[in-house]
């Protein structure tokens, strides 16, 4: 959580793993308090100060909402981008078992296509009610 643009969204305090503070994925950070947010906001670790999710990076860079989708607490989709073996990997995580079709919202299909055309690997992930992750890997390049 870094910006006033984050509003009430605290998805990044739950969904990603944050090894620097020993936070596993899909688990609330123990510093997170309901209706309060980060209980150590003024003293939060640097990794949290620096973090900007894909949505926030897009908004700060002036991308249109269509490119980045709605804020993660509203879209129920959290997007991570990182490098693996020299390739850009984009993970779209439909993190709410109550909204298993979140990735079917308008925009994602074209957006995924452009990411694949640009040579990225795209991983779509659904977090199921059981806590298990259902993952599909999309890659246009021949293996
Ligand atoms: S997930 Fe993105 S928008 Fe939500 S609190 Fe984290 S950085 Fe802000
Ligand atoms: S320390 Fe605060 S900002 Fe960082 S993950 Fe935990 S609750 Fe979120």
* 48 Cβ closer than 6 Å to some ligand 2 atom: yes
Q: What is the mean pLDDT of residues 115-127?
A: 95
pLDDT at 64 > cutoff 70: no
Using one digit for the tens of pLDDT, what is the confidence trace for 65-83?
A: 555 678 999 999 999 888 9
* 112 Cβ closer than 6 Å to some ligand 2 atom: no
* 16 Cβ closer than 6 Å to some ligand 2 atom: no
**What was the pLDDT predicted at 67?**
55
pLDDT at 36 > cutoff 60: yes
* 115 Cβ closer than 6 Å to some ligand 1 atom: no
For residue 12, give both structure tokens: 């990044």
Torsion-angle region of residue 131: left (phi > 0), alpha (psi -120 to 50) or beta?
A: left
Alpha helices in the chain (DSSP H): 46-50, 54-60, 65-68, 72-75, 108-117
Delimit the domains of the chain by residue range: 4-138
Residue of the CA atom closest to atom 3 of ligand 1: 6
Q: Which residue has the tokens 């298993």?
A: 100
Q: Strands, DSSP E only, in 5-111?
A: 32-33, 37-38, 77-84, 87-94
- Gap from CA of 29 to ligand 1 centroid (Å): 14
At residue 46 the predicted structure's pLDDT band, cuts being 50, 70 and 90, is very high
**What was the pLDDT predicted at 3?**
62
pTM of this prediction?
A: 0.89
């Amino acid at each position: 959580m870094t910006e006033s643009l984050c509003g009430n969204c605290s998805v990044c305090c739950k969904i990603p793993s944050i090894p620097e503070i020993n936070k596993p994925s899909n688990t609330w950070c123990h510093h997170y308090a309901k209706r309060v947010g980060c209980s150590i906001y003024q003293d939060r670790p640097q990794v949290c100060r620096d973090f900007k999710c894909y949505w926030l990076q897009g908004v700060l860079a002036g991308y249109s909402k269509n490119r980045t989708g709605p804020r993660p607490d509203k879209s129920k989709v959290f997007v991570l981008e990182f490098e693996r073996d020299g390739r850009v990997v984009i993970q779209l995580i439909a993190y709410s078992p109550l909204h298993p079709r979140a990735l079917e919202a308008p925009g994602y299909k074209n957006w995924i296509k452009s990411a694949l055309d640009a040579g990225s690997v795209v991983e779509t992930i659904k977090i199921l009610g059981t806590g298990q992750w259902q993952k599909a890997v999309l890659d246009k390049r021949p293996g």
